[in-house]
Chains A and B, each alone.
Chain A
Amino acid sequence: MNRGLLETESLSRTYHPGTSSEVRALSDVSLAIPAGSYVVLDGPSGSGKTTLLSLLGALDRPTSGRVRFADRNLEDCSDVELARQRRRMGFVFQDFSLIPRLPTWENITYPQIPRGLSAAKRRQAADDVLSRLGLAAKADTPPEELSGGEQQRVAVARALIGDPEVIFADEPTSNLDRRAAAELAAILQEINAAGTTLVVSTHDTDLKESASLVFLLEDGRLRDDTA
C-alpha cells in the first residue's frame, strides 16, 4: 500500500471522558491521505469533521489511536516538536481566526516571526501571496474592515505563507456567498495544482467536484465505502 503523507490508525477522540457530558466525537478512524491529493471530508453537522482535522493538523491530541505525518508519529512528539510539525502545515479555520486590529500583512506573516524573518522580508512575502489571491490592496487593512470573503482569503494566505506540505481547511466556503465561494474553490484548486496536499471539510458540491478523494463521516465514524 502506498504510504500517504498523512495516515491515521484507529483514531478516536472523546471529549470530557468519564463525565456525564462525555462525547465520542471520533471513533476508530483509519485513513490515508496521499501526498499531493485533494481530500474532502464530508458529513453532516456534528459528525466529527472539525475534530478529525484538528487531530490531523496537530492541533489536538487523540484519546486513542495514532496519526502519522510524513515520517513522524504525532503522538510521540513533545510539545515543541508538535509546534515544529505545525510549521509544515497550514490551517484555514472555519471562523478565519485572524488576530483583530493587526493589519492583513502582519496577520499573514505572524507565524514567521519566531523564525526571525525581518519585517521587510515578511512584508514582501505577504505582498506576493496577497497579490496571488487578489488582495494586494488590503495589505494594511485590519481584519475587522474586511468582508467575510476577504477574511477567508487572508486566512488562506496565512496558511500558504510558510510553503506548507499540507493545508487543512475547515468548511472554508460555509461563511461565503456563492460568488466568493466559487472564487475560493478556484484558489484552492490552484494551490493543489501547485503540488500542495489539501484536506478540506465541506458540504460544498463545487469543492467535492475538485476532490481526488472524499471521506464521508457519520457519527464520528468513517463510512466503509469511502475508506
Chain B
Amino acid sequence: MSSLLSIARTGSAAILLSPLRSSVTVMAVIAVLVPYLVGIGLVEGLRQESRIAIGAGTPAEKELLPDLYVAANQFGRRVPIPLELAEPIRKFDGVTRVIPRIVGRITLGKENVEAVLVGMPREELQRRGSSIQRLTRLIDGQLPRSQHGEAPQLVIGSGLARKLDNLQVGTVIPPIFRSGGGEKTPRITGIFQSEISPWQSQMILTTFESAAEIFDQRGLATDLLVFCRQGQPEAIRSRILQSLTGSSTKAAASHQPSVTSRTDLESLLPAGLGHREGVFNLLFVIAFAIGILVILVTSGFGRPERRREIGILKATGWQTDEILIRSLVESLLLGLVSAAVAILVALAWLKWFNGFWIAGIFLAGVETQPAIAVPYVLAAQPAGLAVLVACLLVTTGSAYSTWRTAVTPPAEAMR
C-alpha cells in the first residue's frame, strides 16, 4: 500500500520532470474542452433564460406570465387585435385577468438604434417591476405613468441607454421614429438592468396608453395576455376560439383569433435549443476524435526522453506494472489539471469575454462580440464530463506507447 502511494507520488512529480510534454498536453486538452464548455454553458444559460421568459421558472414568476396569448389574424396575417375583444374574454369563467399589450418596432436617435417598444397598463408594469427581478430590475428612476397631454414616459434598458449617448433619467429621448413615420419626443423616467438577457437588451417599456399614442393606434393591441385559474387554460382557449369566431360584433367578425398557450411555448423553446445542442454534441464528438489525434501527436513531444526514462526505471528494478501505474497517475493528474484550467478559462470566457465568438454560434443576431451579457450556466454535469474526457484523452494518448516501452527490454528502450 505504501509502495503504491510512493509510486503514485512519482507519477505526480513526473509531470514536472517533462514540463514541455506536460504543458503541450494540457494546452491540447484545453483547446478541445474550452469551446465545448463555453457552448454548453451558453446553451444551458439560454435554456434557463427562456424558461424564465415563458414562466417555467419559480411560481412567483409564473403568476406574472399569461396562460394564453390571444392575437388576431386577417387574411392569414397577424394584425392588431381590437381592444373591445378583451371585454367578452374578461367575463369568461376562470379568467382572472386580461391585459392588452402593444409590442412594436421603432428606431431611436440619430444612430437609428433599433428597439422594441412594449406597452402595458401601469398596474401590470408595477406588478412586474416589483416582483420579477430578473425581467425588469429598475436601477434608476421610476416606472412610467401616462398623464394626459404630457410627453410619453419611457423606461429603457441600461444597454440601450448607453448606446444612445448615455441617456440619463429625466432627459428627453432622441426622436422616436415608428414605422408609420410619425415623430414623438418622450422622456426617460427609468432605466432597468438590461444586461441580463438577450431578449431584453433592446426593450423599452411604457404604459399602454403611451404606446398607443406613439404608434397612433387607438383601440388596438398587439395581443391580449389572458391569465386563467389553474387547470382552465385549455377550456378557455377553445371558448375564446368559438365565441370570437362565431361572434356577431363587427370587430370580431373580421378577425380570426389565434390563441397560443404557454405550454405550447414551453414545449417549443427547449426543442429549438435542443436542436442546436445536438449539432453541438456532434461537433464535440468530432472535436474529441481530433483531440485524440492531437494528443497522440503531442505525446510525441519528448517521446525519446520518455522511452529512455522508462528504460532507466526498468533497468533499475522497476516492474512493468509499477511503471504503468506511475504513468497512469501522471495522465490522470494531467487530465484533471487540464480540465480544471479549461473550466476556469471557459468561465472567464463567458463572464469576462462574454462568450466572444462562440456566442455567435448559439444566439441568432449576436455578433462576434456580443453587445449584451450572454446568459450562461456552467453546471456540474458538463464540468464533470469535461474532467472525464480530459482524463480519457490524456490516458489514451499515452497508454499505448508507455505500455509498449514498458514491456521492451531496458537495453533497447534506453538506446
Establish whether residues B316 and A158, one from each chain, have CB atoms under 8 Å apart when the complex forms.
yes
Check A105 for interface membership: any CB of B closer than 8 A. no
Closest partner residue, chain B, to A106 (CB atom)? B13
Check B400 for interface membership: any CB of A closer than 8 A. no
Establish whether residues A99 and B7, one from each chain, have CB atoms under 8 Å apart when the complex forms.
no
Establish whether residues A79 and B320, one from each chain, have CB atoms under 8 Å apart when the complex forms.
yes
Q: With A and B bound together, what is the CA distance between A57 and B321 in angstroms? A: 20
Contact of A114 with B318 at beta-carbon distance under 8 Å, contacts A79-B407, A99-B17, A100-B17 already known: yes
Of B35-43, B63-71, B148-156, B305-313, the one contacting chain A is B305-313
Check B61 for interface membership: any CB of A closer than 8 A. no
**Inside 8 A of B297's CB, which chain A residues have their CB?**
none
**Inside 8 A of A99's CB, which chain B residues have their CB?**
17, 309, 312
Establish whether residues A87 and B409, one from each chain, have CB atoms under 8 Å apart when the complex forms.
no
Give the contact-size bracket for chain A: 20 to 34
Q: Digit string of B277-319 for contact with A (CB within 8 Å is 1, else 0)?
A: 0000000000000000000000000000100110111111111
Contact of A110 with B315 at beta-carbon distance under 8 Å, contacts A79-B407, A93-B414 already known: no
The answer, among A54, A79, A102, A158, for a CB contact under 8 Å with B411, is A54
Q: Digit string of A114-143 for contact with B (CB within 8 Å is 1, else 0)?
A: 111110000000000000000000000000
Check A101 for interface membership: any CB of B closer than 8 A. yes
Closest partner residue, chain A, to B308 (CB atom)? A97
Check A91 for interface membership: any CB of B closer than 8 A. yes
Q: With A and B bound together, what is the CA distance between A4 and B5 in angstroms? A: 38
Establish whether residues A87 and B320, one from each chain, have CB atoms under 8 Å apart when the complex forms.
no
**Inside 8 A of A61's CB, which chain B residues have their CB?**
409
Contact of A115 with B409 at beta-carbon distance under 8 Å, contacts A86-B315, A87-B317 already known: no
Q: With A and B bound together, what is the CA distance between A83 and B410 in angstroms? A: 10
**Inside 8 A of B409's CB, which chain A residues have their CB?**
54, 59-61
Measured CB to CB, the closest approach of chain B to A4, in angstroms, equals 22
Q: Digit string of B16-36 for contact with A (CB within 8 Å is 1, else 0)?
A: 110000000000000000000
Closest partner residue, chain A, to B10 (CB atom)? A113
**Inside 8 A of B313's CB, which chain A residues have their CB?**
110-111
Q: With A and B bound together, what is the CA distance between A116 and B308 in angstroms? A: 23
Check A194 for interface membership: any CB of B closer than 8 A. no
Measured CB to CB, the closest approach of chain A to B391, in angstroms, equals 23
Measured CB to CB, the closest approach of chain B to A109, in angstroms, equals 10
Establish whether residues B317 and A80, one from each chain, have CB atoms under 8 Å apart when the complex forms.
no
Closest partner residue, chain B, to A80 (CB atom)? B319
Establish whether residues A102 and B17, one from each chain, have CB atoms under 8 Å apart when the complex forms.
yes
Establish whether residues B316 and A86, one from each chain, have CB atoms under 8 Å apart when the complex forms.
yes
Closest partner residue, chain B, to A102 (CB atom)? B17
The answer, among B3, B318, B319, for a CB contact under 8 Å with A116, is B3
Contact of A60 with B320 at beta-carbon distance under 8 Å, contacts A83-B314, A113-B7, A116-B3 already known: no
- Chain B residues 316 to 347 lying within 8 A of chain A, measured CB to CB, are 316-322
Q: Digit string of A45-60 for contact with B (CB within 8 Å is 1, else 0)?
A: 0000000001001011
Establish whether residues B319 and A60, one from each chain, have CB atoms under 8 Å apart when the complex forms.
no
Check A65 for interface membership: any CB of B closer than 8 A. no
- Chain A residues 88 to 108 lying within 8 A of chain B, measured CB to CB, are 91, 93, 97-102
Contact of A111 with B17 at beta-carbon distance under 8 Å, contacts A60-B412, A99-B312, A116-B2 already known: no
Q: With A and B bound together, what is the CA distance between A162 and B10 in angstroms? A: 19
Establish whether residues A97 and B315, one from each chain, have CB atoms under 8 Å apart when the complex forms.
yes
Closest partner residue, chain B, to A110 (CB atom)? B316
Closest partner residue, chain A, to B314 (CB atom)? A83
Q: With A and B bound together, what is the CA distance between A84 and B314 in angstroms? A: 10
**Inside 8 A of B7's CB, which chain A residues have their CB?**
113-114
Measured CB to CB, the closest approach of chain A to B78, in angstroms, equals 71
The answer, among B1, B16, B311, B315, for a CB contact under 8 Å with A101, is B16
Closest partner residue, chain A, to B2 (CB atom)? A116
The answer, among B16, B311, B319, for a CB contact under 8 Å with A114, is B319
Establish whether residues A83 and B414, one from each chain, have CB atoms under 8 Å apart when the complex forms.
no
Check B6 for interface membership: any CB of A closer than 8 A. yes
Which of B305, B308, B411: most chain A Cβ within 10 A?
A: B411
Q: With A and B bound together, what is the CA distance between A149 and B7 in angstroms? A: 30
Contact of A91 with B316 at beta-carbon distance under 8 Å, contacts A60-B412, A101-B17, A113-B10 already known: yes
Q: With A and B bound together, what is the CA distance between A162 and B317 in angstroms? A: 10
**Inside 8 A of B411's CB, which chain A residues have their CB?**
54, 59-60
Q: With A and B bound together, what is the CA distance between A101 and B16 in angstroms? A: 9
The answer, among B6, B10, B312, B321, for a CB contact under 8 Å with A97, is B312
Q: With A and B bound together, what is the CA distance between A57 and B319 in angstroms? A: 15
Closest partner residue, chain B, to A91 (CB atom)? B315
**Inside 8 A of B1's CB, which chain A residues have their CB?**
116
Q: With A and B bound together, what is the CA distance between A87 and B319 in angstroms? A: 10
Measured CB to CB, the closest approach of chain B to A100, in angstroms, equals 7
Closest partner residue, chain A, to B6 (CB atom)? A113
**Inside 8 A of A83's CB, which chain B residues have their CB?**
314, 317-320
**Inside 8 A of B322's CB, which chain A residues have their CB?**
114
Q: With A and B bound together, what is the CA distance between A110 and B6 in angstroms? A: 10
**Inside 8 A of A114's CB, which chain B residues have their CB?**
3, 6-7, 317-319, 322
Establish whether residues B17 and A97, one from each chain, have CB atoms under 8 Å apart when the complex forms.
no
**Inside 8 A of A102's CB, which chain B residues have their CB?**
17
**Inside 8 A of A91's CB, which chain B residues have their CB?**
315-316
Closest partner residue, chain A, to B321 (CB atom)? A80
Taking A118-B6, A158-B316 as known contacts, 13 extra A-B pairs with beta carbons closer than 8 A to each other, sorted by chain A number, are: A54-B411, A59-B315, A80-B319, A99-B309, A102-B17, A111-B318, A114-B7, A114-B317, A114-B322, A116-B2, A116-B3, A117-B6, A118-B2
**Residue positions of B touching A, CB distance < 8 A:** 1-3, 5-7, 10, 16-17, 305, 308-309, 311-322, 407, 409-412, 414
12 contacts between A and B (CB under 8 A): A59-B410, A80-B319, A84-B319, A86-B315, A86-B316, A97-B312, A111-B318, A113-B3, A113-B10, A115-B3, A116-B5, A116-B6
Closest 5 CB pairs of A and B: A116-B3, A111-B316, A87-B317, A60-B411, A59-B411
